[in-house]
């Protein structure tokens, strides 16, 4: 087992020694919030999957820890995160933003990752895993297209066939990302079943995997799905909080901030930003969900508020469902938060009181996006804008240090932002 | 005695199990379909509880589920329909659905409703074995409701033995690794799998499902198991025919005997 934080300027088993941080894989297997043997976080998680899917999931479960802990894997993972993704991403003290709120706010700049969001941390990890499992074909689901693009990217990097399932409705709504995936060589297959959005694209990807167990790996995009996915994806994203600790130490003298704020759809960027702080109870964890038009409007994605316990995509967690257990379609202006469930880790963190949940409406998120743009010269993704808007809802002391995980950049959302120019920019 | 158990005591060969989705094609067709299937000589009927996210099912059953939900099918209505049809037939009935439906309805309440409608068995493909063993076994057994688990060509021997131990109705042998409605894998591969399971001398009867669509595939499956399960092909037949009763009678007749060429 590697030490908790491992700086190695003369790495002996590195292909080329990194000059800066050297990442080890997330290791929280013994913490109070680590999953148990069956993949449960408290009462959430597990693997509720048909027997047909079991061989695929079992192969992964049996091998993922061994592979991701191997020196060969770690070495290539670190190298790609550094040279291809551009890590470490900066931790930036947002001075004008801080001044406005009267509290020190640091931004973890995941928007500066290759492809424009944190998603690629996970797809890099999973493509390396797939290679080592001998898989020749990659499938993925995508909603807004960010995870699809991040998957198509790593498949191009490795020359592996890539098929991305995307709801028929989302294909219409997110045309530029469909084109990006195609330019990267991926095949985009429309999910025509159910509500023809993200949850159905996920179902289609799972069905594809059932039908192609031998040669295919499914790169899931968030900390959702059957065990071991929530744990595995959280580990790949844990590099975010690993870097945060070192950077905060360097810049403030203290590893732990008073609070970390991150948006949650399925919850992968939040899982990464929280991961190494889960057992540090002096750091508040704030999970920001999309309220859509309002939590009581019927048009929302605030799963922890209006959801209930159940099973979605093979995981026991909180989800939006009707009295019959039929899964309901969420709504948010941000396609990345438009998911009817929440990862089992987050369900556990919220249910146990370790994390605070905040719900932000479309309107509040849009306002926060324009504010951050003017205040710091950073246009955030719509998803990320929800995390910034949470500043208006949480309590803090003036001596506090807060980190907001700036999970993605806003280029992809310009079309939506333009609709609000009259209100926030002027004609 | 449990209806499934009773059936296999008297019939060990060529058992025909037909699946349909409740609420499809019409909301109130449940009773008609069950009675017609029973009259046509089907041995077991699997009633699908339509679900928004049927992970194990292929396009045909997904679409029938969507239609059934749009038609307004709900579990309370389904249980009413089943209570009603129970006045006219005692054919063994199995409910098939997803674990979330049972959890949300409340497992005790759900099983009580099953017992009231004299449901003989349940198939919940995404219920983990340990959930059943640790939390539900007593609940099922005290109500005399049989559980059937699925095995696939990739299920390990040790697990098959465990499934055989926990199963009370029959073992659902998935013919190949695919979602429902798919085509079967290569013949020799399938045959080897059928024979391997046949040779294990399991205590439960075995029914083969997935990819069974006509007399030929039904007969082939029956040669190596106690019978077979047909779902997607039956649903397609219901969709293509204009007269529901006639479609059902024709379909079952064609499964049971070779179609004469016109």
Q: Find all residues with CB under 8 Å of B86, minimum gap 6, and list them.
A: B117, B118
CB distance B126 to B98 below 8 Å:
yes
| Residues of chain A contacting residue B66, judged by C-beta atoms under 8 Å apart | 193-194
Residues A269, A332 share a domain: yes
Active-site hit among B29, B36, B43, B46: B46
CATH number at residue A74: 3.40.50.1100
| Closest by CA position to B208, among listed B6, B41, B17, B58 | B17
Out of B55, B66, B177, closest to residue A206 by CB: B55
Cα–Cα nearest to A328, from A317, A340, A316:
A340
B32 CB within 8 Å of a chain A CB: no
Q: How many domains does chain A have?
A: 2
Chain A residue closest in CA terms to B70:
A194
CA distance A273 to A121: 12
Q: Does B104 touch chain A (CB under 8 A)?
A: yes
pLDDT value, residue A400? 98
- The percent of residues in chain A predicted with pLDDT above 70, rounded, is 93
Kindly state whether residue B101 falls inside one of the protein's structural domains: yes
B260 falls in which pLDDT band (50, 70, 90)? low
Does any domain span residue A308?
A: yes
Q: For residue B122, give the 3-state DSSP assignment.
A: strand
Q: Are B215 and B254 in contact (CB under 8 A)?
A: yes
**Last residue in a domain, options A233, A260, A278:** A233
Contact check, Cβ <8 Å, B154/A194: no
Give me the mean pLDDT over the A133-160 stretch: 96
* Domain annotation covers residue A22: no
Residue A2 has pLDDT above 50, yes or no: no
Question: Is the residue at A200 inside a domain?
Answer: yes
Contacts for B151 with CB less than 8 Å, ≥ 6 apart: A51, B159, B160, B163, B171, B172, B173, B174, B197
A290 beta partners: A360
Q: Which two tokens mark B176? A: 């190949």
Choose from A59, A193, A318 for mutation: most chain B CBs within 10 A: A193
Judged by a CB distance cut-off of 8 A, whether residue B103 touches chain A is yes
Q: Does residue A106 sit in the same domain as residue A179? A: no
Q: Is B46 a catalytic residue?
A: yes
Q: Which residues of B touch A313 (CB under 8 A)?
A: 53, 55
pLDDT surpassing 50 at residue A193: yes
Q: Give the distance, in angstroms, between the CA of residue B134 and the centroid of all CA atoms in the same chain.
A: 24
Q: Which of B29, B43, B57, B120 is catalytic?
A: B57
Whether B179 has a pLDDT exceeding 80, the answer reads no
Contact A81, A87 (CB under 8 A): yes
Q: Domain end: A233, A256, A283, which one?
A: A233
pLDDT for B258 equals 79
Please check whether residue B6 lies inside any domain of the structure. Answer: no
Residue B164 structure tokens? 């055989």
Q: Examine the pLDDT at A364 and tell me if it is beyond 90.
A: yes
Residues A268 and A293 in one domain: yes
Q: A54 to chain B: which residues are within 8 Å by CB?
A: 152, 154-155
Same domain, A329 and A368: yes
Number of A to B CB contacts under 8 A, please give it: 104
Task: Say if B4 falls within a structural domain.
Answer: no
Q: Per the structure, how many domains does chain B have?
A: 1
Same domain, yes or no, for A346 and A358?
yes
User: Which chain A residue lies closest to B210 (C-alpha atoms)?
Assistant: A52
Residues A47 and A103 reside in one and the same domain: no
B65 to chain A nearest CA, in Å? 9
Residue B180: pLDDT band (50, 70, 90) is low
Q: Are residues A180 and A263 in the same domain?
A: no
Let me know whether A184 and A200 are in one domain: yes
pLDDT mean over B203-214: 95
* Nearest neighbour of B152 by CB, restricted to A51, A206, A308: A51
* Secondary structure of residue B201 in the 3-state scheme: coil
The pTM for the full model equals 0.93
Average pLDDT over residues A107-131: 98
In a domain, B78, yes or no: yes
Contacts of A78 (CB under 8 A, 6+ apart): A14, A18, A22, A23
Task: Classify residue A409 by its DSSP letter.
Answer: B
In a domain, A32, yes or no: no
Q: What is the CATH number of the domain that holds B242?
A: 3.20.20.70
Domain boundary pick from A178, A212, A233: A233
Same structural domain for residues A382 and A293?
A: yes
Same domain, A108 and A166: no
Over the stretch A21-42, which tens digit does the pLDDT of each residue have?
Answer: 444 555 555 688 999 999 999 9
Give the per-residue pLDDT at A3.
39
Task: Return the minimum-mean-pLDDT range out of A26-40, B10-24, B91-105, B124-138.
Answer: A26-40
Is residue B242 assigned to a domain? yes
Q: Which residues pair with B126 in a beta bridge?
A: none
Q: Between B189 and B250, where is the model more confident?
A: B250
Q: Is B62 in the A-facing interface, judged by CB distances under 8 Å?
A: yes
Q: Output the six-digit token pair for B75.
A: 């579990």
How far, CA to CA in Å, does A182 sit from each of A121, A156, A187? 21, 11, 6
- Cα B262 off chain centre by: 32
Residue B1 belongs to a domain: no
* pLDDT on residue A30: 67
Q: Do B55 and A47 touch (CB under 8 A)?
A: no
By annotation, the residues of A acting in catalysis are: 119, 141, 407
Cα(B56)–Cα(A312) distance, rounded to whole angstroms? Answer: 13
Tokens 């194990």 map to which residue? B56
Torsion of CA B200, B204, B209, B215, to 10 degrees: 90
On whether residue A3 sits in a domain, the answer given is no
Domain extent, residue A374, equals: 91-116+238-424
B64 falls within a domain: yes
Q: Which domain holds residue B54?
A: 14-256
Give the pLDDT of residue A142: 96
What residues of chain A lie within 8 A of the CB of B55, using their CB? Answer: 49-50, 53, 203, 206-207, 313-314
B134 belongs to a structural domain: yes
Mean pLDDT of chain A: 92
């Amino acid at each position: 087992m590697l030490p908790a934080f491992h700086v190695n300027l003369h790495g002996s088993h590195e292909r080329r020694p990194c000059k800066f941080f050297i990442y080890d894989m997330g290791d929280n297997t013994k913490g109070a919030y680590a999953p148990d043997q069956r993949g449960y976080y408290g009462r959430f998680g597990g693997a509720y999957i048909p027997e047909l899917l079991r061989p695929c999931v079992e192969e992964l479960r049996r091998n993922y820890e061994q592979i991701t802990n191997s020196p060969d894997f770690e070495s290539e993972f670190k190298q790609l995160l550094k040279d291809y993704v551009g890590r470490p991403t900066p931790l930036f003290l947002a001075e004008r933003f801080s001044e406005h709120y009267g509290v020190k706010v640091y931004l973890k700049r995941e928007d500066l990752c290759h492809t424009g969001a944190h998603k690629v941390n996970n797809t890099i990890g999973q493509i390396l895993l797939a290679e080592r499992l001998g898989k020749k074909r990659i499938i993925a689901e995508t909603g807004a297209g960010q995870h699809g693009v991040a998957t198509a990217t790593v498949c191009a990097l490795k020359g592996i066939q890539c098929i991305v399932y995307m709801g028929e409705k989302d294909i219409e709504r997110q045309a530029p990302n469909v084109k990006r995936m195609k330019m990267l060589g991926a095949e985009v297959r429309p999910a025509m079943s159910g509500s023809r959005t993200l949850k159905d694209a996920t179902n289609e990807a799972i069905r594809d995997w059932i039908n192609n167990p031998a040669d295919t790996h499914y790169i899931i995009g968030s900390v959702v799905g059957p065990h071991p996915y929530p744990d595995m994806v959280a580990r790949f994203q844990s590099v975010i909080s690993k870097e945060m600790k070192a950077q905060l130490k360097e810049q403030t003298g203290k590893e732990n901030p008073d609070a970390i704020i991150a948006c949650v759809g399925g919850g992968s960027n939040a899982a990464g930003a929280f991961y190494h702080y889960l057992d540090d109870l002096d750091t508040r964890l704030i999970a920001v969900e999309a309220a859509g038009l309002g939590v009581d409007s019927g048009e929302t994605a605030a799963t922890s508020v209006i959801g209930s316990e159940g099973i979605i995509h093979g995981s026991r967690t909180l989800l939006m469902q009707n009295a019959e257990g039929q899964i309901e379609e969420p709504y948010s202006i941000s396609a990345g938060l438009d998911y009817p469930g929440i990862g089992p880790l987050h369900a556990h963190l919220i249910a146990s009181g370790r994390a605070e949940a905040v719900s932000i409406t479309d309107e509040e998120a849009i306002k926060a996006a324009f504010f951050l743009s003017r205040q710091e010269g950073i246009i955030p993704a719509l998803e990320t804008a929800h995390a910034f808007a949470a500043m208006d809802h949480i309590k803090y002391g003036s001596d506090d240090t807060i980190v907001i995980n700036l999970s993605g950049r806003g280029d992809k959302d310009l079309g939506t932002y333009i609709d609000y120019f009259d209100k926030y920019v002027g004609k | 005695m449990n209806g499934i158990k009773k059936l296999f005591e008297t019939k060990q060969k060529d058992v025909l199990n037909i699946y349909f989705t409740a609420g499809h094609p019409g909301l109130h067709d449940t009773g008609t379909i069950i009675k017609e299937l029973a009259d046509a000589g089907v041995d077991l009927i699997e009633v699908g509880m339509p679900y928004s996210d049927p992970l194990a099912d292929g396009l045909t059953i997904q679409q029938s589920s969507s239609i059934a939900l749009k038609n307004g099918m709900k579990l309370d209505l389904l249980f009413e329909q089943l209570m009603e049809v129970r006045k006219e037939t005692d054919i063994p009935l199995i409910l098939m659905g997803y674990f979330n439906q049972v959890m949300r309805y409340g497992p005790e309440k759900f099983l009580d409703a099953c017992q009231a409608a004299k449901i003989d068995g349940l198939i919940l493909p995404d219920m983990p074995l340990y959930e059943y063993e640790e939390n539900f076994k007593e609940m099922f057994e005290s109500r005399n409701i049989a559980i059937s688990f699925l095995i696939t060509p990739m299920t390990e021997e040790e697990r098959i033995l465990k499934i055989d131990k926990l199963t009370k109705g029959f073992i659902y042998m998935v013919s190949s690794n695919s979602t429902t409605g798919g085509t079967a894998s290569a013949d020799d591969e399938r045959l080897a799998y059928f024979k391997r399971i046949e040779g294990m001398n399991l205590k439960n009867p075995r029914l083969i499902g997935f990819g069974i669509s006509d007399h030929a595939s039904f007969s082939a499956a029956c040669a190596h198991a106690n019978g077979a399960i047909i779902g997607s092909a039956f649903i397609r037949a219901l969709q293509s025919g204009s007269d529901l009763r006639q479609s059902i009678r024709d379909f079952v007749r064609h499964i049971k005997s070779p179609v004469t060429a016109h």
